[in-house]
A and B are shown apart, each in its own frame.
Chain A
Amino acid sequence: MKPEPSTFHSRPDGRRRIERATTWIFRAATYLVLLAGGAVLLTIAVKGSRTLFQSEAPFINWSFLTEAPESLYIFEWEGRTLEMGDREFRAFKERNPAAANVEAESYVYSAGGIFPAIAGTLLLVLGSMTIALAVGVSAAVYLNEYARDGRGIRFIRLAILNLAGVPSIVFGLFGFGLFVIFLGWNVSLLAGWFTLAFMVLPVVITASEEALKAVPLGFREGSLALGATKWQTIRRNVLPYALPGILTSSVLGIARVAGETAPIMFTAAYVVRDQLPWQVERLGDFFFQGVMALPYHIYVVSSKIPQNAHTERVQYGTALVFLLLVATIAGTSILLRQHLRKRHSW
């Protein structure tokens, strides 16, 4: 077609149709993702709130958050169907001797609460992020501030990038082999901490390097020109300004540490444990105890007990608590970052 000067041709019909179709395909894909994500979150929110919230004051079902899991017993009594947790059921039988041999359906872990799992997850996050940040930030400082670019450093960077893509189950097996078996730590908090820390290290290192790179060169030069050593410069004039960035990106790490099941199922998690983590005789024992953890608990209650109306309570309740916990941790870090940003902005 020969273009005529000073007039615009309307686009040929075929091309316009393709244009419209592609727009719709992309739009549909986006909506599909939204729909799927929304459906999952909504189901958990709706079904989980039945466990977590109640209609009368104090509106939150505290016992679910503060008690240990118990077995659920369901039985017929005087023409009614009763549901009771383990302790309540035993007390009931004492009060009503006639009920001693009543036929009861039972489901493990379906009554009571999930407090030990919440505590365990918090401890796992705290310990592993402490280790990951200490090691990760140091490594990032070395790579970004001290190391001279060479083949060795490039290789290390590549290795770190690749490590980020390793499936978490591999970290779980690695932790199991190294910490649990070889170092003889058994299934323990310590083994879980290090396994999870290794898993998020690539994220922490990469994020910290980005944050360090974002600190203007002028801060370093200005400091060095005043006669600061390299370490003084990094400590006083680089790290404080990189911290907000490091924290933000570490949120990603926190969510992963809190959420992954595979790395802890061989290294730190117990299906159920009666004592709480701080109920240990000696301080040293603290590090060498296994703990319950939310993601593992979700795995247990959703795969090891039947799915029905009686068990849904704990299944969806745990999932909702877990989501809220991760959201809270992420939110806190974001607030912290904004606070730090305000104090140190340039």
Chain B
Amino acid sequence: MVIADPPLMDSSAPELAGTPPPPAPAERSVVAQIEHLDFFYGTTQALKDVTLDLESRKVTAFIGPSGCGKSTLLRCLNRMNDLIEGARVAGGTVRIHGTNIYDRTVDVIEVRKRVGMVFQKSNPFPKSIYENITYGLRLHGRRDKSRLDAIVEQALRGAALWDEVKDRLHQSGLGLSGGQQQRLCIARAIAVEPEIILMDEPCSALDPVATAKIEELIQELRARFTIVIVTHNMQQAARVSDRTAFFYLGSLVEYADTRDIFTNPAKPQTEAYVSGRFG
């Protein structure tokens, strides 16, 4: 296992800013390392000593019964948990390219620029499709119209939405169907060129056709992004992911290649869960 480009701890914050990710070596390379992570909501512990590596340009699925901490761990990766009152990391580290993102010196804005997120409930902004995509870019001071136009097209193509919306870019994003809205959210996330994209049950509110489209899209996106997806759908995890992590009651039970998890799990709990016998 090769750990890509570990910078020194104290030079971390500026390093995180804007620099393109280093070219991925052919072998398994680690983008993010979660080590011995303990996480609390107030006094209740939601994650217990979780250790797990995310591999570059792979799709990692988090599975497990409801309330086992999948969303919590996902939101630890871009520090969205900072928003929740009383939520805190009590121990352990989350490193992205070697930098602990919970370090005092790290700018959370930079973390979120590099770790994008797609939510369970699709949340396009009540703006035009165009403005939805450019929202993140404008935040970071991009104004150049022709450049923005190009990025909008690129992002929408990337999210397999361009053909459906190219004639209505200036209409509200809320006028799209549920599946299109979720792809718009994906386009919005990839427009800022993150390195990692987190998806929290992105298909749970979609019909099978829209779900299939998103799954197909994930297959295309894995060439450019490292993707983490939380899902309750075992078939979905089996179809889209390279690696699967099974959680139970806040602990990581098993983390292995998806094929192994579904055909040859090491732990009896995993076996019981993936075969649908509990959870």
On chain B, which size bracket covers the interface?
20 to 34
Whether the pair A226, B123 counts as a contact (CB closer than 8 A) is no
Counting chain B CB atoms within 10 Å of each CB, which of A216, A345, A346 scores highest?
A346
B188 CB–A CB distance under 8 Å: yes
Whether the pair A221, B136 counts as a contact (CB closer than 8 A) is no
Whether the pair B109, A227 counts as a contact (CB closer than 8 A) is yes
Whether the pair B126, A225 counts as a contact (CB closer than 8 A) is no
Q: Which of B110, B112, B126, B189 contacts A241 (CB 8 A)?
A: B126
Whether the pair A225, B112 counts as a contact (CB closer than 8 A) is yes
CB of A341 to closest CB in B, whole Å: 11
Q: How far is the CA of A241 from the CA of B125 in the complex (A)?
A: 10
Whether the pair B85, A225 counts as a contact (CB closer than 8 A) is no
Chain A 227-270 interface residues, beta-carbon cutoff 8 Å to B: 227-229, 232, 236-237, 241
Number of interface residues of A (CB under 8 A): 22
Closest to A226 in B: B136
Q: How far is the CA of A345 from the CA of B188 in the complex (A)?
A: 20
Q: How far is the CA of A346 from the CA of B181 in the complex (A)?
A: 13
Chain B 121-152 interface residues, beta-carbon cutoff 8 Å to A: 121, 123-126, 135-136, 139-140
B83 CB–A CB distance under 8 Å: yes
A148 CB–B CB distance under 8 Å: yes
Whether the pair A222, B85 counts as a contact (CB closer than 8 A) is no
A87 CB–B CB distance under 8 Å: no
Whether the pair A226, B192 counts as a contact (CB closer than 8 A) is yes
Q: Which of B80, B113, B125, B188 contacts A237 (CB 8 A)?
A: B125
Please, which residues of chain A bring their CB within 8 A of the CB of B124? 222
B117 CB–A CB distance under 8 Å: yes
Closest to A343 in B: B126
Q: How far is the CA of A223 from the CA of B123 in the complex (A)?
A: 10
Please, which residues of chain A bring their CB within 8 A of the CB of B110? 227
Whether the pair B140, A227 counts as a contact (CB closer than 8 A) is yes
Whether the pair A224, B139 counts as a contact (CB closer than 8 A) is no
The total number of A-B Cβ pairs within 8 Å is 66
Chain B 105-125 interface residues, beta-carbon cutoff 8 Å to A: 109-110, 112-113, 116-117, 119, 121, 123-125
Taken residue by residue from 166 to 207, chain A's Cβ proximity to chain B (1 for < 8 Å, 0 otherwise) reads as 000000000000000000000000000000000000000000
CB of A160 to closest CB in B, whole Å: 21
Whether the pair B174, A346 counts as a contact (CB closer than 8 A) is yes
B245 CB–A CB distance under 8 Å: no
B78 CB–A CB distance under 8 Å: yes
Counting chain B CB atoms within 10 Å of each CB, which of A216, A225, A227 scores highest?
A225
Whether the pair A222, B125 counts as a contact (CB closer than 8 A) is yes
A219 CB–B CB distance under 8 Å: yes
Q: How far is the CA of A219 from the CA of B80 in the complex (A)?
A: 13
Q: How far is the CA of A222 from the CA of B122 in the complex (A)?
A: 9
Please, which residues of chain B bring their CB within 8 A of the CB of A237? 125, 135
Please, which residues of chain A bring their CB within 8 A of the CB of B261? none
B185 CB–A CB distance under 8 Å: yes
Whether the pair A345, B126 counts as a contact (CB closer than 8 A) is yes
CB of A75 to closest CB in B, whole Å: 68
Whether the pair B189, A226 counts as a contact (CB closer than 8 A) is yes
Chain A 300-346 interface residues, beta-carbon cutoff 8 Å to B: 344-346
CB of A25 to closest CB in B, whole Å: 47
Known contacts A148-B85, A149-B85, A225 near B125 by CB under 8 Å: no
List the interface of chain B (C-beta within 8 A of A). Answer: 78, 80, 83, 85, 109-110, 112-113, 116-117, 119, 121, 123-126, 135-136, 139-140, 174, 185, 188-189, 192
What are 6 A-B pairs with beta-carbon distances under 8 A? A221-B117, A222-B125, A225-B80, A226-B188, A228-B109, A345-B174
List the interface of chain A (C-beta within 8 A of B). Answer: 148-149, 216, 218-229, 232, 236-237, 241, 344-346
Using A222-B119, A227-B109 as known contacts, list a sample of 4 further A-B pairs with CB atoms less than 8 Å apart, ordered by residue number in A. Answer: A222-B124, A222-B185, A225-B189, A227-B140
Nearest first, the 7 A-B pairs at minimum CB distance are A218-B123, A226-B136, A227-B113, A225-B117, A346-B126, A227-B112, A222-B123
